[in-house]
Structure 1
Amino acid sequence: MLAAIVATSAAALLAAPTAGILGHRALKRSRNASLMKIDSPNGIDERSFVRIGGIDQWISVRGEDLANPVVLELHGGPGASTAIFGPRTRSWEKHFTIVRWDMRGTLKTLGHNGADGQGEMTFDRIYADAIEVTDHIRTRLGVDKVVLLGLSYGSAFGLRLARAFPEHYSAYVGTDQNIHDSGRDNSVHEALLARLRATKKHKELAAVEALDTDKHRWTTRERAMHAKLLATTDPLTLDTMKKVVMGSLWLSPLHSLRELGHFAKGMSFSEQVTAGTSGFDDWADGTEFKIPFFLFQGEKDVLTSPDLARRFFDDVQAPVKDFALIDDCSHFAAFRRPERFLELMLAHVRPVIVADESAAAGI
């Protein structure tokens, strides 16, 4: 959804590398690599390609104690790997085993196989991959269930997996939660028009006003253009994209300079997947979940409306549910304020999971 701004930022970074900038980057990456070391007796740090859906897909498994609950992240974008945030979320790994997966069309999976080696790039194909990744992780780590963490576009997969396979997931957590309502809610679009009018961006305003009133008829490029403007017209979101997203990619010890380009290319390449969700209706698909259900949303998110997320949450029926806003955050709230997100996970999610595991074990 944000491929254009990511591509622009990545191009600027790649165009700028002088000896001083590269030296600063090398120092920061070295420090981040030291920060990310896991040497606890029962810890795990595995990074490898796994055969999923007929192609090699990159999966990382990290945590300080394998006895901790396992969290499977479903990244957004589509095509926006969360592995770049490793140093920012290092504290999460003290309490959870974090699984990060570059979906087909994304960063390391894209770079390893090439664009022609990604296979079918559809929502249904990646959904099937997610089922396979879940089974792989459950087998590899010897656990019955994992926490499902849906981030932004990844939350569209997350809701459907949580509904369909409650036996595989101990809880669902959504952040930057996408709620699809078949186009009924128009508040995000209207807010964009208001920002464009207020800032007198006449060219961009004309492009948005020219879009079909039926969102289902938008092309992939029109959806991408709309998402780019949502982000770039909001100062908080734009600041987060530059400092948190691109800053994390630039200083990631797991990613080379070449992979900065793969990140941007992956988001552009993966835009085609969004065609598969344009007609989704989460209310029609069902608001009953058989597992604990949590939404932690940025209070100022201009891409995935916290009000719409709250309305859906209010209709959800689940054994346990909770909703919280993350203050002073727009999109990418979990990564802009990773310690606050961890506090919410520890206060609301982990106790429920641990209690359920103890009950299942007869303790």
Structure 2
Amino acid sequence: MLATVLAASAAVLAAPAAGLLGHRALRRAALAERLRITTPNGIDESGFVRIGGIDQWVSIRGEDLRNPVVLEILGGPGASNLVFLPRTRAWERHFTIVRWDMRGAGRTFAATGPAGQGEMSLEQLHRDALEVTEYVRTRLGVPRVVLVANSFGTVLGLRLARSHPELYSAYVGTDQNVIAGGRERSAYDGLVARLRHAGKGKRKELAAVTAMGADKAQWSVEQLSAYNKLVLTTDALSYDTMKTVVIRSLWFSPLHTLRGLRAYLKAMAFSEPLALAAVAVDEWEEGTEFRIPFFVFQGDADVLTPPGPAKRLFDDVTAPVKEFALIRDASHFASFRRPDQFLDLMLAKVLPTCAPRT
């Protein structure tokens, strides 16, 4: 979904100045030290696991194995959450967090490239997610895990939570995507309004967006890329988030070499057709009844996946427990821009629904 926006950083990654490299090395070393887990009952392991017929990267981190287990479903598509580890380090004091680079993403993509990813479909990702869940349950000896999905990952996350309450203790959606079978057009209408307000300076972009129309089922991958880029760069808070949170996290990631960062960007471009495969998903038709606690924590100023549609979906959901909350001063990538607020919500709302471990 965001590959085109992130590609703007490719030139920096390809030919950095010596000074930039030196500063990057110092920051990466400091962040690597911050990521160290030294508690007696902690866990920090990562590596390839055979999932869906291919080797896929799974990371498990936390300071106390007695804490509830969280399985993250990444966004993008193809955007590994591993780059955000330094920003979310505090989460690992309260939860054991599993981060999975699904096929077409992160280290799974980097290991074998496009030829080694196998079937790229929503159905295959669903099967893979169930295998990862079973692996985590066995490896950590837990009956169920908390499902935390962000952005594109919420499409998959809703399906998992709806269909397998025996595997998941709660669903948490952030940057919650609402497609509604193509009926939802709040983000599109908001973009058109911003372009019109910009006047002559955005006349060309306005013409292109209005010519595309709001029906994403009729768009090409290139049109979807151009649309996402405009949505995020025409909004000041979103643009600032891309620069200060996303691209900075990429550049200083202690887990990624320069070659790894290039692979990260290539993975997102490779996986982008999955976003078009999801444009017909209808959350209401698939079902709004959930048999596990259901939470949505949305950025209050998110223009890509606006809070309004997320709240309308939430209002129609039936669940044993449900909570909706806004993350203040947050655009898309809300949980990574405001990780402390997100953690506060997890502790106040989600943690009480998790069975204690002994």
Counterparts in 2 of 1:41-80, with a 5 A limit? 41-80=40-79
**Residues 1:319 and 2:285 are matched in the alignment:** no
Decide whether the 8 Å contact of 1:71 with 1:146 is kept in 2. yes
Q: Does 1:4 align with 2:12?
A: no
SS at match of 1:210: helix
Show the 5 A alignment for 1:64-213.
64-199=63-198, 200-213=201-214
Distance 1:272 1:135 in 2: 27
Q: Within 1, Cα distance between the matches of 2:275 and 2:303? A: 18
Give the whole-Å Cα distance in 1 for the aligned partners of 2:338 and 2:279: 30
What is the Cα deviation at residue 160 of structure 1?
0.4
C-alpha separation between the residues in 2 aligned to 1:233 and 1:263?
24
Runs (4 or more) in structure 1 with deviation over 4 Å come to none
Measure, in 1, the Cα distance between the counterparts of 2:214 and 2:191.
14
Deviation at 1:10, TM superposition (A): 3.0
**Paired letter, 2:319:** A
Secondary structure at 1:201 match in 2? helix
Distance 1:172 1:286 in 2: 14
Aligned to 1:274: 275
Letter in 2 for 1:119: G
Rounded to whole Å, the distance in 2 between the matches of 1:257 and 1:218 is 33
1:214-247 per-residue CA deviation (whole Å, 9 max, x = no partner) reads 3322222222221111111111111111110110
The separation in 1 between residues aligned to 2:94 and 2:293, in whole angstroms, is 18
* Whole-angstrom distance in 1 between the partners of 2:26 and 2:215: 50
CA distance, structure 2, for counterparts of residue 212 and residue 340 of structure 1: 36
Shift of 1:13: 3.6
Q: CA deviation at 1:128?
A: 1.1
Tell me the distance in 1 between the aligned counterparts of 2:265 and 2:224.
Answer: 17
1:37 maps to a residue whose letter is R
Query: Do the aligned residues in 2 keep the contact of 1:10 with 1:246 (CA within 8 Å)?
Result: no
Amino acid corresponding to residue 202 of structure 2 in structure 1: K
Deviation at 1:347, TM superposition (A): 0.4
Task: Quote the Cα distance in structure 2 between the aligned partners of 1:82 and 1:181.
Answer: 26
The offset of 1:325, in angstroms, is 0.2
Residue matched to 2:248: 247
CA distance in structure 2 between the partners assigned to 1:180 and 1:195 by the alignment? 21
SS class of match (1:302)? coil
User: 1:310 is matched with which residue?
Assistant: 311
Matched residue, 2:37: 38
Q: Counterparts of 1:333 and 1:10 in 2: how far apart (Å)?
A: 24
Q: How far apart, CA to CA, are the structure 2 residues paired with 1:120 and 1:275?
A: 16
Q: Which runs of 5+ in 2 are unaligned?
A: none
- In structure 2, what residue type is equivalent to 1:175? T
Checking the alignment, whether the CA contact within 8 Å between 1:145 and 1:167 is kept in structure 2 is yes
Residue 331, structure 1, aligned to residue 335, structure 2: no
Q: Quick one: which amino acid aligns to residue 6 of structure 1?
A: L
Structure-2 separation of matches of 1:344 and 1:226: 31
Q: Residue 70 of structure 2 aligns to a residue in which SS?
A: strand
Cα distance, 1:213 vs. partner? 4.6
Task: Decide whether the 8 Å contact of 2:241 with 2:337 is kept in 1.
Answer: yes
Q: Which residue of 1 aligns with 2:352?
A: 351
Separation in 2 of the partners of 1:159 and 1:107? 22
Describe the superposition over 1:129-176 as per-residue Cα deviations: whole angstroms up to 9, x where unpaired: 111111111111111100000100001000000000000000000000
Which blocks of at least 5 consecutive residues in structure 1 are unaligned? Answer: none
Cα deviations across residues 94-113 of structure 1 (Å, max 9, x unaligned)? 00001001111112111101
Paired letter, 2:216:
K
The one-letter code sitting in structure 2 at the alignment partner of 1:161 is L
Distance 1:10 1:71 in 2: 32
| Secondary structure, aligned partner of 1:182 | helix
Look up the SS of the partner of 1:241 in the other structure: helix
User: Comparing 142-151 with 120-129, which one deviates more in the overlay?
Assistant: 120-129
Structure 1 length normalisation: TM-score? 0.96
- Equivalents in 2 of 1:337, 1:58: separation in Å? 26
Instruction: Output the amino acid matched with 1:95.
Output: H
Structure 1 distance, partners of 2:273, 2:338, is 30
- Give the fraction of aligned pairs with identical amino acids, expressed as a percent: 59
8 Å Cα contact 2:78-2:268 kept in structure 1: yes
